């Protein structure tokens, strides 16, 4: 169940965000919020500005205008590494594992910012309990995993930083329905049990709505609509929104 942050506001609040590449703006005045324990899906066609929004939230792009507030604090100027320390994790759509390293080393590298060995081992135990294949094949090179297995490993790596907010770009890209269902089910359990919040950027409406609480629809770099996932599921047609 979603809840507001202890300070009384949302965990993440993006306000009037403008962002892009060089002098070319891609995102224009985007505002959205995410509460603790909430799964929020951001929908839209290619070029809608979804990934740019996610990268700016995580600090990979600097905003042209607007603010990213996390726990009520403005993150302007914070690096991605600082945001990881504050409890954010980001899983990109592509190149999300180290292919020439084993599964175990991939997972341990993702927890390097945690100084406590006991905490690192506890996280590893939890991740392997959630995704047993990562323990069964811990010595296997990540690059020899299938696309779906690599996706599972990428989620495990994100969880090794013990995030409060996970940003996931195109989780269904090149992944079988069974594996995406497993991943989304793990997010639902995380959200319900630990209060971890998740933002999913997705083109596949069916996957995006499966476990979501709320939905934002983007088009041409702007938020066109915000509504509950339940209301979105009741719609007969989706694509007239895009």
Are 170 and 151 a contacting pair, CB within 8 Å?
no
CATH number for the domain including 185?
3.40.50.300
Residue 240 resides in a domain: no
> Both tokens of residue 196?
């971890």
Spatial distance between the Cα atoms of 148 and 82, rounded to a whole number of angstroms: 29
pLDDT digits (tens, 9 = 90+) for 175-231: 888 899 999 999 999 999 999 999 999 888 888 898 999 999 999 999 999 999 999
Residue 242 resides in a domain: no
Q: Based on C-alpha coordinates, what's the Rg of the chain?
A: 17
Residue 60 resides in a domain: yes
Residue 171 resides in a domain: yes
How many independent structural domains does the chain possess?
Answer: 1
Residue 75 resides in a domain: yes
Residue 7 resides in a domain: no
Q: Looking at residues 161-181, what average pLDDT do you find?
A: 90
Give the domain extent around 22: 12-235
- Show Cβ contacts of residue 194 under 8 Å, excluding neighbours closer than 6 positions: none
| pLDDT band at 240; cut points 50, 70, 90 | low
pLDDT digits (tens, 9 = 90+) for 19-34: 999 878 899 999 999 9
Residue 5 resides in a domain: no
- The alpha carbon of residue 132 and the mean position of all alpha carbons in its chain are separated, in whole angstroms, by 21
| pLDDT band at 113; cut points 50, 70, 90 | confident
How many Cα atoms occupy the beta-carbon half-sphere of 181 within 13 Å?
4
1 pLDDT higher than 60: no
What element of type H or E holds 202? Answer: strand 197-202
Spatial distance between the Cα atoms of 193 and 191, rounded to a whole number of angstroms: 6
Spatial distance between the Cα atoms of 51 and 20, rounded to a whole number of angstroms: 10
Q: State the residue for tokens 């951001």.
A: 42
* Single pTM value for the model: 0.90
Residue 3 resides in a domain: no
| pLDDT band at 69; cut points 50, 70, 90 | very high
What 3-state DSSP class applies to 139?
A: coil
What element of type H or E holds 167? Answer: strand 165-169
Query: What's the pLDDT score for residue 238?
Result: 65
């Amino acid at each position: 169940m979603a809840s507001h942050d202890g300070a009384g506001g949302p965990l993440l609040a993006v306000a009037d965000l403008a962002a892009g590449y060089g002098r070319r703006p891609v995102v224009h005045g985007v505002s959205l919020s995410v509460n603790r324990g909430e799964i929020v899906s951001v929908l839209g066609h290619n070029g809608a500005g979804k990934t740019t929004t996610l990268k700016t939230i995580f600090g990979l792009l600097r905003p042209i205008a607007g603010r990213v507030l996390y726990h009520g604090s403005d993150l302007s100027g914070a690096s991605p590494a600082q945001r990881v320390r504050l409890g954010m994790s980001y899983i990109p759509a592509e190149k999300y594992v180290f292919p020439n390293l084993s599964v175990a080393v991939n997972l341990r590298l993702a927890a390097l910012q945690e100084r406590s060995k006991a905490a690192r081992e506890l996280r590893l135990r939890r991740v392997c309990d959630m995704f047993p294949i990562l323990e069964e094949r811990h010595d296997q090179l990540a690059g020899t995993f299938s696309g779906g297995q690599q996706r599972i490993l990428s989620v495990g790596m994100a969880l090794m930083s013990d995030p409060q907010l996970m940003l996931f770009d195109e989780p269904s890209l090149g992944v079988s329905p069974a594996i995406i269902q497993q991943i989304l089910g793990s997010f639902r359990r995380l959200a319900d049990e630990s209060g971890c919040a998740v933002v999913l950027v997705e083109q596949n409406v069916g996957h995006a709505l499966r476990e979501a609480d709320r939905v934002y629809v983007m088009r041409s770099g702007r938020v066109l609509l915000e509504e509950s996932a339940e209301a979105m599921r009741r719609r007969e047609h989706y694509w007239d929104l895009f």
